[in-house]
Amino acid sequence: MDNFRFYVPTDIRFGKDRLATELTDVLNAYGKNVLLVYGGGSIKKNGLYDQVIDLLEKNQNTVVELSGVEPNPRIETVRRGVALCRENDVDLILAVGGGSTIDCSKVIAAGFYSDEDPWEVIKGRKGFQGEALPIVTILTLAATGSEMNGGAVITNLATNQKLGVGGPAMMPKVSFLDPTTTFTVPAYQTAAGSADILSHLVESYFNITEGTDVQDFVSEGLMRAVIKNCPIALVTPDDYDARANLMWSSSLALNGLTRNGKHGVWSCHAMEHELSAFYDITHGIGLAILTPRWMNYVLSEQTVSKFAQFAQNVWGIDEEEPMLAAKKGIQATYDFFKACDIPMTLPAVGIDEEKFGEMAKQAVAHSTIKTDAFVPLAESDVEAIYRECL
Ligand code: NZQ
Ligand code: ZN
């Protein structure tokens, strides 16, 4: 296991009925002028917007709104947010939504203090060390883990780039995780979010660092929780415990708990971000399509033991021959996504082979998968994996 520092200061307020009694006290610690950030309107349909506005009015907050944050949030929206913060002397950002709303808020928060265009903040990539406005989140979709980490992913459609940035100041100060706010998440987004959570766990699980039983066994448990609860939430969207388990696994899957102590980069995310950058598809769907194909591609005598462990401990596959067990585990992964009604080919989400070469080139250029992945992937490997998804 590698050395690591695990410092996640986000204050998690988990459970139902907390907003009414806790939200305004939380906000008052940072100031009165609030930028309220949200997406395309789901919070207006399910009543959360009215509830939040009502609380802010009673608390005499000054509220400026940035609405319409896109899934795969765009740099133009970040720029609008930075301008609003400056024009209105905003003290803090309240992000109400899924990963896209929270990510957009994080880069607005960092961009506020930067003299450069926010895209330059993104291009600075992972190690953002500057200041940021305080962020409070109300999560409405279990998926990215953005509610409890310092990362953000922003899209620049003009350049077909979807890039990640991250830093300690971008970590939310407080995140409200009320499972009832996810009752209205449609089945497609519930499945996509669950696939994203699973992918975050899988990406760190299949890693070159040895001796990480704690991280791996925690990951296996979290994966089983997602595999158990996603189908329940699909059939019964207002099952509180199913939604609660998905929500908490979302946060724990990407707050460092299962990733710290390991080195190396993720593979499927690097490949998926190019699909989203070029075709604007749903992140978790792209990951579900890629993951079993990537697993098959990197399965070999060198990697088989970890895949056999995955098959046994995550899927309960009882098979002694390791290669056979590994293949059954990969098939189970594919079958799970399929059973969640995820379209399991790239053409099914409107992607043909035309840009495979270009996307493969970008996936390698925007990451270090060629040298630092579980199994290093060159452009030709990425293109071959895309082809397996046809
Ligand atoms: O925009 P609204 O109207 O709110 O609708 C959203 C959106 O259409 C809807 N939705 C969210 N909560 C809902 C709801 N609909 C009904 N009821 C609710 N309670 O769901 C749709 C998708 O929302 P979005 O925020 O885009 O989804 P997600 O949370 O999956 O975020 C995806 C983005 O996060 C990035 C992805 O690349 C993508 O851009 N990621 C961020 C990470 C991070 N910050 O750590 C890591 C991830 O790997 C990922 O890359
Ligand atoms: Zn993800």
Q: pLDDT digits over 273-293, tens only?
A: 999 999 999 999 999 999 999
Atom of ligand 1 nearest to the CA of 154: 39
> Ligand 1 pocket: which of 140, 154, 182, 200 to mutate (most atoms <8 Å of CB)?
140
Instruction: Enter the tokens of residue 378.
Output: 């060159």
> Ligand 1 pocket: which of 16, 51, 52, 141 to mutate (most atoms <8 Å of CB)?
141
* Shortest-distance Cα residue to atom 25 of ligand 1: 98
State in Å: Cα 102 to ligand 1 middle: 9
Contact 159, 251 (CB under 8 A): no
Which residues make Cβ contacts (< 8 Å) with residue 192, sequence separation at least 6? Answer: 143, 282, 283, 284, 285, 288, 342
Angle between helices 356-365 and 379-388 (to 10 degrees): 130
Instruction: Enter the tokens of residue 350.
Output: 């409107």
Provide the 8-state DSSP code for 255: S
State in Å: Cα 314 to ligand 1 middle: 26
* Shortest-distance Cα residue to atom 46 of ligand 1: 144
Residue 152 CB–ligand 1 contact under 6 Å? yes
CA dist 68 → 44, 73, 96, 238, 354 (Å) = 12, 9, 12, 26, 31
Residue 179 CB–ligand 1 contact under 6 Å? no
The ligand with the least distance to the CA atom of 146 is: 1
State in Å: Cα 253 to ligand 2 middle: 10
d(Cα 64, Cα 191) in Å, to the nearest integer?
A: 33
Contact 298, 374 (CB under 8 A): yes
The ligand with the least distance to the CA atom of 69 is: 1
H or E element, residue 137: strand 135-139
Where in the chain are the domains?
Answer: 11-181, 185-389
CA dist 143 → 18, 81, 226, 282, 313 (Å) = 21, 23, 11, 11, 22
Atom of ligand 1 nearest to the CA of 68: 1
Contact 263, 2 (CB under 8 A): yes
Atom of ligand 1 nearest to the CA of 101: 25
CATH 3.40.50.1970 fits 11-181, yes or no: yes
Q: Which of 175, 138, 102, 143 is nearest to 247 (CA)?
A: 143
d(Cα 102, Cα 151) in Å, to the nearest integer?
A: 10
Q: Other C-beta atoms within 10 Å of 34: how many? A: 23
CA dist 178 → 13, 77, 119, 138 (Å) = 8, 26, 32, 8
- What are the φ and ψ backbone dihedral angles of 155, each rounded to 5 degrees? -105, 140
Q: Which of 141, 256, 136, 259 is nearest to 196 (CA)?
A: 141
CA angle 71, 74, 76 (to 5 degrees): 145
- Considering the entire predicted model, what is its pTM? 0.98
Write the class of the CATH domain 185-389. mainly alpha
d(Cα 34, Cα 12) in Å, to the nearest integer?
A: 20
Q: Which of 319, 387, 384 is nearest to 352 (CA)?
A: 387
Provide the 8-state DSSP code for 352: -
Q: Which of 332, 367, 360 is nearest to 346 (CA)?
A: 360
The percent helix, strand, coil of the chain (3-state, each to 5) is 55, 10, 35
**The two domains 11-181 and 185-389 share their CATH topology (first three levels equal):** no
Complex ipTM > 0.95: yes
d(Cα 331, Cα 351) in Å, to the nearest integer?
A: 23
| pLDDT 10s digits, 320-366 | 999 999 999 999 999 999 999 999 999 999 999 999 999 999 999 99
Q: Which of 300, 286, 303 is nearest to 386 (CA)?
A: 286
Instruction: Enter the tokens of residue 260.
Output: 């710290």
Atom of ligand 1 nearest to the CA of 189: 20
d(Cα 228, Cα 66) in Å, to the nearest integer?
A: 36
* Shortest-distance Cα residue to atom 7 of ligand 1: 71
State in Å: Cα 361 to ligand 2 middle: 20
Residue 147 CB–ligand 1 contact under 6 Å? no
Query: Environment class of residue 318 by beta-carbon count within 10 Å: exposed (0-12), middle (13-18) or buried (19+)?
Result: exposed
- pLDDT less than 50: residues of the chain: none
Residue listed under structure tokens 């100031």 = 31
| pLDDT 10s digits, 137-175 | 999 999 999 999 999 999 998 888 999 999 999 999 999
